[in-house]
Homo-oligomer: A and B are copies of this chain.
Amino acid sequence: MDYLQMESYLKAISDHNRMLILKYLSKDSLCICEFTELLDMTQPAISQHMRKLKQAELVTEEKRGRWTIWALNVRHPQYPILIHLLSLLPEPERTIETLVAEGKKVVCN
């Protein structure tokens, strides 16, 4: 890994909203519309963050019906470091359980 690759990797992570997204993904695969609820952000904002994470190969996407399910890329060479960094961060106030309780968790299969 050279200096520019490392820079891209770290820049993809060093945004508090993207760290929140990654923190959620370390628990569960989620779609854009769920993130808009969890982070209270607009759909295009989330989409653009996911594009950044995808370009850094930190996440993978899987189309399922109307939804795109996003997951952590566990095959990324620096995946263990990412998990460690995420472990240093507190649990977000808004949890996936809240989503479920509000009937906003997407179930697609």
Task: List the number of copies, as a whole number.
Answer: 2
Tell me if A90 is interfacial: C-beta within 8 Å of chain B. yes
Tell me if A7 is interfacial: C-beta within 8 Å of chain B. yes
Tell me if A10 is interfacial: C-beta within 8 Å of chain B. yes
Task: Knowing A14-B14, A81-B81, say if A88 contacts B19 (CB, 8 Å).
Answer: no
Tell me if A11 is interfacial: C-beta within 8 Å of chain B. yes
- Mark A residues whose CB is within 8 Å of B: 1-4, 6-7, 10-11, 13-16, 19-20, 78, 81, 84-85, 88-90
A91: min CB distance to chain B, Å: 11
* CB–CB B89/A85 < 8 A: no
Contacting residue for A85 out of B2, B6, B15, B16, CB 8 A: B6
